[in-house]
């Protein structure tokens, strides 16, 4: 299909066949990733690491419970990893902006930390070992953001939205494939003679370790390639006053769009974290019943990320308002026998709108600044996103009421307000174009 697209006139493709144009974007992005020397190895590592980490995702919590970790301990593990990533985000961002060798050094360091942390976690025997592994893994979580920084900075500005969107969509697609691969992989282990459940857990947890270790060794033994900047970017000398005016003009949109990123990810965090609790309390669903909704929502989110550059007919501010309204009605306690159908449909549309906004906001912030600031800008976005995850995790769980699952005045009303604030931030930033 992607090959046939080349024989169709591009205006015809882009105007009338969005899906075919999306396939063309995927093909072009793959060529860009694979044939750009300094991107090939990091992107391949991200692909295999994303698949490997998603493969063990369904059993991670159960693996922790087997090591006598409590619910609060599991929360602490996430907090430790997030804190470590927050502390190192500015360091990695500054290294990425310093020089091409700085970018290579940051990617190598985060890859080694990810591999070492996964290895320690796979052989851990108690909660203390898991806490130490979480801290080391947190130092390597920045690998995803560093590769995204390199991807964004290596392409011309007019193509950055498409490249970033396809990268995020490919990453989400690999996560879906990884989650779907757990059941057949566990089935093969059982029929291969691994009857002990804990042993199977350790094998599955170690798959990600193998991917990370191979990637880390590959990066360590390879020489850092020379990064050739895009020839279409011309450096125009400007005076001190003009430079200050340009910096001041970019600062206000950066603040507004950063607030938009925070509001969006806080809303997504609250919704995805409380969603299984909500359907369990209100509809009495089990984990197996909710599993197909998880796969569907992940697929919708990946499609929205990939199609974002092609859906220019939807203004981002309108999408944010629509997402705020949808999350209110989806979790608004609509009664009747078909209430679960309305809930699922509205929730998936909400996920689509949120997935559509994510690449737009991040790319828009990136485009406000020149290449020499990209490392720090993407590190700042990663920092803000992590703060939003912490905020959503803490506030959302404390506002949720198990006794009254129809109550929407708490966490889901917070999502509604956050998304409306996101729309206001987007409109405010548009005034400074």
- How is the chain split into domains, by residue range? 8-226, 250-433
Nearest Cα residue to 131 out of 196, 186, 198, 84: 84
* CATH hierarchy code of domain 8-226: 1.20.1250.20
Q: Same fold for the domain at 8-226 and the one at 250-433?
A: yes
pTM of the model: 0.74
**pLDDT over 60 (residue 431):** yes
* Reduced DSSP (H G I as helix, E B as strand, rest coil) percent helix, strand, coil of the chain, to 5: 80, 0, 20
**Can you say how many angstroms the Cα of residue 43 is from the centroid of all Cα atoms in its chain?**
15
**pLDDT over 50 (residue 327):** yes
* Contacts of residue 426, Cβ cutoff 8 Å, sequence gap at least 6: 256, 257, 260, 316, 317, 320, 361
Average pLDDT over residues 302-311: 80
User: How much is the pLDDT for 348?
Assistant: 92
Quickly count: other Cβ atoms within 10 Å of residue 404's Cβ.
13
Tell me, which fold does domain 250-433 have in CATH? Growth Hormone; Chain: A; (1.20.1250)
- Poorest-pLDDT segment among 164-168, 286-290, 340-344, 410-414: 286-290
Q: Calculate the average pLDDT of the chain.
A: 77
* Contacts of residue 332, Cβ cutoff 8 Å, sequence gap at least 6: 408, 412
| Most confident listed range (98-107, 253-262, 392-401) | 253-262
Average pLDDT over residues 225-240: 42
Average pLDDT over residues 32-40: 76
Residue with tokens 């020397």: 37
**pLDDT over 80 (residue 245):** no
User: How much is the pLDDT for 433?
Assistant: 62
pLDDT confidence tier of residue 401, bands split at 50, 70 and 90: low
Residue 409 is given by DSSP the state S
């Amino acid at each position: 299909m992607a090959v046939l697209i080349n024989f169709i006139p591009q205006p015809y493709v882009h105007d009338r066949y969005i899906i075919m144009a999306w396939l063309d974007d995927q093909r072009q992005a793959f060529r860009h990733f694979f044939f750009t020397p300094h991107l090939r190895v990091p992107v391949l590592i991200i692909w295999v690491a994303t698949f490997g980490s998603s493969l063990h995702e369904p059993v991670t919590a159960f693996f922790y419970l087997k090591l006598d970790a409590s619910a609060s301990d599991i929360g602490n593990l996430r907090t430790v990893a997030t804190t470590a990533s927050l502390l190192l985000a500015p360091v990695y961002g500054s290294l990425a902006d310093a020089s091409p060798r700085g970018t290579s050094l940051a990617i190598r360091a985060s890859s080694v930390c990810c591999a070492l942390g996964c290895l320690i976690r796979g052989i851990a025997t108690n909660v203390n070992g898991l806490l130490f592994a979480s801290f080391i893994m947190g130092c390597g979580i920045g690998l995803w953001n560093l590769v995204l920084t390199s991807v964004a900075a290596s392409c011309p500005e007019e193509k950055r939205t498409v490249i970033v969107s396809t990268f995020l969509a490919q990453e989400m697609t690999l996560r879906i494939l990884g989650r779907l691969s757990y059941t057949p992989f566990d089935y093969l282990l059982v029929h291969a003679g691994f009857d002990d459940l804990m042993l199977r857990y350790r094998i599955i947890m170690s798959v990600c370790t193998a991917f990370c270790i191979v990637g880390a060794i590959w990066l360590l033994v390879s020489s850092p390639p020379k990064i050739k900047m895009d020839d279409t970017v011309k450096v125009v000398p400007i005076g001190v006053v003009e430079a200050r005016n340009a910096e001041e003009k970019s600062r206000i949109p950066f603040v507004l769009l950063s607030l938009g990123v925070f509001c969006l990810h806080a809303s997504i965090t609250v919704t995805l974290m409380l969603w299984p609790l909500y359907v369990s309390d209100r509809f009495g669903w089990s984990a197996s019943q909710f599993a197909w909704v998880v796969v569907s929502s992940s697929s919708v989110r990946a499609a929205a990320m990939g199609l974002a550059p092609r859906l220019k007919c939807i203004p981002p501010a309108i999408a944010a308002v629509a997402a705020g309204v949808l999350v209110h009605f989806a979790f608004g306690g609509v009664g009747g026998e078909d209430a679960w159908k309305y809930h699922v449909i509205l929730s998936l549309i909400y996920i689509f709108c949120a997935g559509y906004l994510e690449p737009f906001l991040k790319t828009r912030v990136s485009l406000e600044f020149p290449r020499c600031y990209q490392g720090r800008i993407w590190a700042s976005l990663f920092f803000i996103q992590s703060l939003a995850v912490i905020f959503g995790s803490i506030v959302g769980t404390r506002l949720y009421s198990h006794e009254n699952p129809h109550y929407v005045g708490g966490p889901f009303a917070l999502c509604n307000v956050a998304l409306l604030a996101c729309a206001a931030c987007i409109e405010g930033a548009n005034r400074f174009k």
